[in-house]
Amino acid sequence: MGIRSLLPRASDYQLEFLGADIVAGVTVAVIALPLALGFAITVGVPPVVGVTTAIVGGIVAAVFGGSSFQVTGPTGAMTVVLIPLVARYGVAALPAFGLVAGVVLILAASVRVGRYVGFVPWPVITGFTNGIAVIIILQQLPIVLGAAGEPAASTLVAGTRTVRAFITSPGAPTVTLAVVTVAVMVVWTRLPRVKVVPASMIALVLGSGLSLLEWFDGVARVSGVPRGLPAPAVPLMSFGAGADLARAALAVAILAALESLLSAMVADGQTIEERHDPDRELFGMGVANVVVGFFGGMPATGALARTAVNVRSGARTRVAAVIHGLVLLIIVLFLAPLATRIPLAVLGGILVVVATRMIESHSVRTILRATRSDAFVLILTMGVTIVFDLILAVEVGMIAAGVLFIVRMSRLLQISPEGLGGTEPSQHDTLDEARAEIELGREEIIAYRIDGPVFFGAATRFFDQMLKVRPGVKVIILRMRRVPVMDATGLTALQSLIEALGRRHILVLVSGLQPQPRAMLERTGVLDQISRNRHHLFATSEEAIAHARAHLHREDHEAAT
């Protein structure tokens, strides 16, 4: 598969669904406008940056992306990464971060890494998503409360300081607008007959209208919304800080990849037969961020909330996302002056509701009731996301999930010297086999049934337990039909075990070796070594038992003569 598989194709478009796509695109645009304005203000950039990102990124990603339903633009998760970058490098550095991150995403798509996002455990994803939701809510506190505490590196600390500043000097008008906005959105979504009209737009109109009263004259409002898009230009890059730029752009690229692919996966789950192409999705997101960078926008990613609305609104192809971008462009060209009357508190209230709905309470309850290790990973990932940063949270969550998975898998390994089950994977021992095992106890033979993977997490226990052999045993049969997987550590443990037992003059026979362990033992040359050129390797336990008895019979005969 070459680069051609990542490019747009005619099959992406089906004009018979144009009507449904137009309706969905207009609906999503109405929701996307306040979010684009709000996220730009949250990051600390002019509102035009957020709208430009939604228009340019939304259209380009829809054309080049791998999902028929993905809607791209500025997101709350991305603001969490961008806020410290703006504080350190300034607003002018954002387009450069987006451009470099876009190049990274294009390279990632070229080497086909998109498919590996499916290996991220669900507790990590849920903890990550819920942590982002909490951070978005904390980020809105200054504009919702109309108070600003002292800046802090941690969003949690900054939010705490903002609450303290508000308690010291409360401002009723700003809080009133935010509360009214939240209340309108909550009530509107519970009215089934009017749910077709987006609650965010109703709240935006009512909140802005209420703010025209004299009591709200002093509230902060949106400013700097031009009538049109900025002209494309090459982003300014400081090559003197190349390492810092690359590190920051890599963090942006990782977050964009994770959020976009997870959003596309959620969209897949809401449809019947549609499935996104993860590598093409990364490619489209990379191209979108490169183009957005030239228009002076902020890094973009797949937007889960807008994508879900797109699906629920009846979108059938990627044309809906393109329409969403075009409608936003029309709004900017003809309705920009109206945006200057929007209070920041209203935008903050809308974002608080959107973030609250991001919290997956059902998934959290399910995970907390599943296993203690999954619950631990969820809480750990969510905590690190809130207290530190997103990329660290994913890294810590993945490491914790991996370690706990290894522990769980190691406990699956069972070594049974008696009460042996069947020689077939799904059958019990026959009566003759059971009698044979009882007879083995009277002879100088012992058989071990090994159940489960023999890998680095369980190799030590495998080695130690197998060495605990009762005195007088001359032959050990390792029944390995139920060992599906073995790694290099398990291979080494098996080799060392056979050598250690050999020094004690104990013969080891192996039966029922499965394809994966056998193939690895053959590739490394260990199979011939541990099985004496395969003379001690048998397909069934019955054959191994017969050979063991014949071996003891020969030894007894030689001793007698």
pLDDT tens column, 34-75: 888 888 888 888 888 999 999 999 999 999 998 989 999 998
Say whether 191 sits in a helix, a strand or coil: coil
Say whether 231 sits in a helix, a strand or coil: coil
In the chain, which stretches have pLDDT less than 70?
1-2, 118, 149, 151-153, 195, 224-226, 237-244, 270, 272-273, 418-443, 561
CB 51 within 8 A of CB 314: no
Tell me what pLDDT residue 505 has: 87
Tell me what pLDDT residue 311 has: 84
Tokens representing 517?
């362990």
At a CB cut-off of 8 Å and minimum separation 6, what does 65 contact? 72, 280, 281, 283, 284, 285, 288, 318
3 DSSP assignment: G
By CB neighbour count within 10 A (0-12 exposed, 13-18 middle, 19+ buried), where does 3 fall? exposed
57 DSSP assignment: I
Closest CA to 458 of 496, 412, 418: 412
- Tell me the CB-side half-sphere exposure of residue 67, using CA atoms within 13 A: 33
Tell me what pLDDT residue 419 has: 35
Query: What's the CA gap between 21 and 324, in Å, rounded?
Result: 9
At a CB cut-off of 8 Å and minimum separation 6, what does 447 contact? 417, 420, 437, 440, 476, 477, 479, 541, 544, 545
CB 289 within 8 A of CB 330: no
Say whether 75 sits in a helix, a strand or coil: coil
Tell me what pLDDT residue 324 has: 94
Instruction: Report the CATH architecture of 414-560.
Output: 2-Layer Sandwich (3.30)
What is the location of CATH 3.30.750.24 in the chain? 414-560
Query: What's the CA gap between 24 and 309, in Å, rounded?
Result: 8
Q: Which residues of 313-336 are buried (b: 16+ CB within 10 A; e: fewer)?
A: bebbbbbbbbbbbbbbbebbeeeb
Tell me what pLDDT residue 241 has: 55
